Amino acid sequence: MSTYLESLIVLAAILSLLTLGLNVRWGWAGEFDLAYYATVAMGAYFGSVVILPKYSGPAHLGYILGLNQPFLVAMVAAGILGGVASLIIGFFALRNLRGDYLSIATVAFAIVSWQVLAQDPNLFDGFNGVYGMPQPFESVLKLGPDAYALFFFVMCVVLFLITYVILEMLYRSPFGRTLRAIREDEYAAAAFGRNVFVNKLKAYVIGGVVAGVGGCLFAVYLADWNPYVWAPIETFLIYGAIFIGGQANQRGITLGAIILLVTIPEVTRFMPNIPGHADLFPALRDILSAILVILVLRFRPQGLIPEVHPRDPGDGQAAVAGSVANV
């Protein structure tokens, strides 16, 4: 397998994992949350400083912690931080806010987080960010470049598959069905004894854990994380992947992430340069992404692979009984 293809699949696995986390919030529970990528950034920053050693540069710059711990410790810590941060944010935002008000509050949190982390050089070195994160298990495995690239490829794919399977089990569980009932009509769900706030908060925390883990993995893959990587607009691109693939359908969402977050950027990257238009292709990426989302919403609003709505088995039995009676 070529190195280029390996890197594309690794990127697709990481971005698809991040998209699955937002799908728990939006696709399952109907929470139109715009602070999701801020949670990804928290996991990336925190995981990085758990992995990195103590900072030894100029006193007016630097990053906190520097624990010099293995990757697995950093990934677990990032997932816990993502879950705890989501618990705190969700506790206040989900209790009293719905719909547009929830979106406004969460996007405000994302913008404030971005500004604070970008402007304060003592947390994560401001606009310079953190960089130089060692590759996971490299010092233990002592593999050559090609063998290590294959190992990292397998590790990312396995992490994605584990996340996919766990979330699919949750989706098919009574908890998942409760979330979808709340998404469709939270008042009706409450009337049947479901605690809307608690269940939506659980979904928010689960999405935060996935975001934290994915953010740590993404930062290690890039070996660099700074404010330029996680502008709040990235959340809208992940939503676009969900719209294209199919809300709440994990197979569709994975396909949407591959199309919107990997394929379109790669296609535009290989277009020939036009003199005097250095910013054309980054802008073209956003334009093509927006056009694709609009087309899907117009002609196939359910997405490329729609969510399957299981029917009550009693409906089928009633239909069979009616058919027999007619005969």
pLDDT in tens, 293-307: 999 999 999 999 998
Alpha-helical segments (H) within the chain: 3-23, 36-51, 71-96, 99-119, 121-124, 138-141, 145-172, 174-184, 186-191, 196-222, 233-245, 250-257, 264-269, 280-299, 313-326
Instruction: Give the separation between CA 87 and CA 206, rounded to whole angstroms.
Output: 9
Q: Is the dihedral of CA 250, 215, 288, 243 positive or negative?
A: positive
- From 168, 201, 229, the end of a domain falls on 229
Asked if 80 and 134 sit in the same domain, the reply is: yes
- Together in a domain, 213 and 271: no
Q: Are residues 219 and 75 in the same domain?
A: yes
Pairing mode, strands 130-131 and 224-225: antiparallel
CB 143 within 8 A of CB 236: no
Q: Quote the pTM value.
A: 0.89
Q: Is 117 helix (H, G, I), strand (E, B) or coil?
A: helix
Residues 98 and 55 in one domain: yes
Instruction: Tell me how far apart the alpha carbons of residues 281 and 188 are, in angstroms, rounded to a whole number.
Output: 47
Domain that holds residue 56: 3-229
Of 189, 204, 229, the domain-final residue: 229
Residues 43 and 76 in one domain: yes
Answer yes or no: do 274 and 317 share one domain: yes
Q: For the chain, 327 residues long, give each residue's pLDDT as a single digit of tens.
A: 578 888 899 999 999 999 999 999 999 999 999 989 999 999 999 999 999 999 887 777 889 999 999 999 999 999 999 999 999 999 998 988 877 888 888 989 999 999 999 988 889 999 999 998 988 988 888 888 888 889 999 999 999 999 999 999 999 999 999 999 999 988 899 898 899 999 999 999 999 999 999 999 999 999 999 998 887 778 889 999 999 999 899 999 999 999 999 999 888 877 767 777 667 777 788 888 899 999 999 999 999 999 887 664 444 444 333 333 333
Let me know whether 116 and 251 are in one domain.
Answer: no
Say yes or no: 223 and 237 in one domain.
no
Measured over the CA atoms of residue 189, residue 80, residue 82 and residue 224, the dihedral's sign is negative
Q: Are residues 92 and 217 in the same domain?
A: yes
Asked if 252 contacts 304 with a C-beta cutoff of 8 angstroms, the reply is: yes
Q: Are residues 280 and 156 in the same domain?
A: no
CA distances from 2 to 6, 9, 153, 252, 308 (A): 6, 11, 12, 26, 36
Do 217 and 128 lie in a common domain?
yes
- 3-state secondary structure at position 297: helix
Q: What is the pLDDT of residue 46?
A: 95
How far is residue 26's CA from residue 80's CA, in Å, rounded to a whole number? Answer: 21
Residues 164 and 246 both lie in one domain: no
Number of structural domains found in the chain: 2
Structure tokens at 198: 């608690």
Among residues 197, 229, 261, the one where a domain terminates is: 229
